[in-house]
A and B are shown apart, each in its own frame.
Chain A
Amino acid sequence: MSAPALSLQSASKWYGQLLALNGVNLELGPGIHGLVGANGSGKTTLLRIASGLILPDEGHAYIHGISTKKSRARSLVGYAPETDSFYEEYTIVDFLTIMARLHGFRAEWAKRLATRALEKVDLGDQAKKRLRGCSRGMRQRVKLAQAILHDPPLLLLDEPFSGVDPVVRGDLVCLFRKMAAGGRTILFSSHELDEVERLTEDILVLVRGRIVAVGSAGEIRQRLDNNPCRVALEWSDSNDQPTLNDLVSEWASWPEVSGWDRSLVGLGRLGCMVRAPREGDFLNRLQSQVLRLGWALDRVENLDGSTRVLVGRILGGKMLGSSS
């Protein structure tokens, strides 16, 4: 069995008295993985350790089985940092050529790879533009281009969608999916939580230097001990459908329901919002009720099911900021 693309074993990192990463164990295989967490939760530190940019004070980091202590491990990584401090006097293509040469490519290949990487991030026609004149979104794409130009099997991206307009964002999402489909491993951090959920089923939640949850948004939700949610229900108001009073009288005895709010949906339609302590238990019971009553529900939606709400809950209501 081949080694995982990225493996962290009890990786810890201190900055003075601050414990930035606390005994993180992690193994990632091919695919896209999202990393979310609040300010100072250790996202950037984790990515830097994973890229070999810094070494953990305790524990180990391996890229495809090679310790990040060895410089050759960094040949297998493409890292796009959060900062975009380039050499402003250089053109985009010159900057990328330099980056390729640092990887060991000869001049001719370096230039070729730089040009092709720029095409992939849709900057092919801006290759001769000076970095000084690039917008925030273009700089993000330049960072991405320098990360992918040497064809890395592991791509580590720190806030890749920050400052990118929706059109380019869509292009980048397509690119990431294409790379992942080709067997690459992508780990990216983001505060755009909806984007994380759109892009990946594998989310890592980092709180104070520890990974507290891993999996899809649904899996994480299931693992939470206390996961109250609001479920919106809608159905048509007709004779063969139950009335809200019928339902409420039955729900009153259900432990799966902690409350409800009547809501006016519109002409000829009924609706309500149910508060459930555990989404899964409630939906199971609701399913049996629907079958028993022959109830034709038009809408069942977990109003608290987005990744943003989920991560906010894991973080104890702490607001997600702009940087870690």
Chain B
Amino acid sequence: MTEPIREPGSPTMGDFLEYRSFHGTLRGPTYAVWAIARTGLGLLFRRKLFWGLYLMGLILFFLYFFGQYLLVWAGSQDLGQSIRVGPFARIPRKELIDNLRTMLKMDGSPPMFHNFFQTQGSIVMVLFALAGAQLVGNDFRFRSFPFYFSKPIGPLHYFLGKGLAAAVLLNLLTTIPALILFFQAWFLGDWSWNVAKMKLLFSILGYGAVLTWGLVPLLLASASGLTRTIPIAMFWIFCFLFLRGISEGLVDRLGYSPNWKTIDLWNDLGLIGSQILGMGPEPKNRNTNPDFGFALGLVLVIPILSLAYLRLRLSKVEVLR
């Protein structure tokens, strides 16, 4: 949506400051969302710490990437021979490689992507703690809002922009690498394209969307309240490590109801992700995971509560009242 640069009836500007020759139309405030997101990402990308953490976050991706490649390469060698395992046993090479692919889940299957998403959790927490302060916390802390809101944008555009930046960051660590792994598995495989592959592709995108919905509003809310990196990091550690420890202690050690595991948000997101990927719970967790409905409820409620808190925080900002 665009709007004219001058309102009808407003004074003719002439050649203001002798440099203005813009006679086009201005883009509407919705376009500012991307500008705000780019600004936020630019702030992060200018920090060496971010790139250090991001490279750490990609270690797992490289492990999967080269692991898949190596296993496929090994499988493509002469498979007629068998390999000696121990003093007596010999295993056919093909069987060994297939077993390895299954065990390591480096076979382009839904469990591989589920594992990848789940294990990216810790680095996502660390990066989000850094990003929260940079993206939103500093604006609240240093009162930068007059620069934003004296422009023709509103709080909604501001938070959509910041949320978009956080979403890009999250998906740079999870969904994008997962998509690369998906296409790598496809290229290394039989190049066939069928409904199952299409479904898997959309499942990966869906998993990314669930993570985005579950984590981005929480990040914005926590960063708007805590503003500094260390408190935000402590909050995320509490949510995703401390609560996980408590839930495991309650359920696995003390025998409480598995529904207590609902307080582990990352586990809840993983449960929903596994459903999206068409997997059931893993056998070892089958009896200790909460009901799917509980997990789904929490993943729906927490972002809504986060957005409500964000609205409350905004009402305290002087220039937005």
Contact = CB atoms under 8 A, between A and B. Distances in A.
Interface stretch (A77-85, A267-275, A287-295, A314-322): A77-85
Given A83-B143, A120-B19, A183-B14, A71 B153 contact: yes
Contacts of B144: 83, 85-87
B19 A30 contact: no
Interface residues of B, number: 46
Interface in A10-45: 15, 30
Given A65-B9, A87-B43, A79 B26 contact: no
Interface residues of A, number: 53
Contacts of A101: 31-32, 35
A300 B142 CA distance: 51
Contacts of B47: 89
B14 A182 contact: yes
Contacts of A104: 2-3, 26-29, 31-32, 152
A111 B7 CA distance: 24
Nearest to B35: A101
Contact of B148 (A102, A109, A117, A153): A102
A89 B43 contact: yes
A116 B146 contact: no
Interface string A282-313: 00000000000000000000000000000000
A182 B16 CA distance: 7
Interface stretch (A46-54, A165-173, A191-199, A247-255): A46-54
B49 interface: no
A83 B12 CA distance: 31
A5 B9 CA distance: 11
Given A101-B35, A102-B35, A74 B16 contact: no
A103 interface: yes
Looking at B14, B19, B43, which has the most chain A CB atoms within 10 Å of its CB? B19
A237 interface: no
Contacts of B284: none
Interface in B22-75: 22, 24, 26-29, 31-32, 35-36, 38-39, 42-43, 46-47
B7 A103 contact: no
B11 A183 contact: yes
B150 A2 contact: no
A76 B7 contact: yes
Interface of A: 2-3, 5, 15, 30, 48, 51-55, 64-66, 71-77, 79, 81, 83, 85-87, 89-90, 94, 98-99, 101-106, 109, 113, 116-117, 119-120, 146, 148, 151, 153, 178-179, 182-184
16 contacts: A51-B150, A53-B149, A54-B321, A65-B9, A73-B152, A74-B150, A75-B26, A83-B144, A85-B142, A102-B36, A104-B3, A104-B27, A104-B29, A105-B26, A117-B19, A120-B17
Interface of B: 2-3, 5, 7, 9-14, 16-17, 19-20, 22, 24, 26-29, 31-32, 35-36, 38-39, 42-43, 46-47, 142-144, 146-154, 318-321
Sort A-B residue pairs by CB-CB distance and give the 7 closest, nearest first: A104-B26, A85-B142, A81-B146, A79-B150, A101-B35, A102-B151, A116-B19
Given A89-B47, A101-B32, A153-B10, 7 more contacts: A72-B152, A81-B146, A85-B142, A104-B31, A116-B19, A151-B13, A183-B14
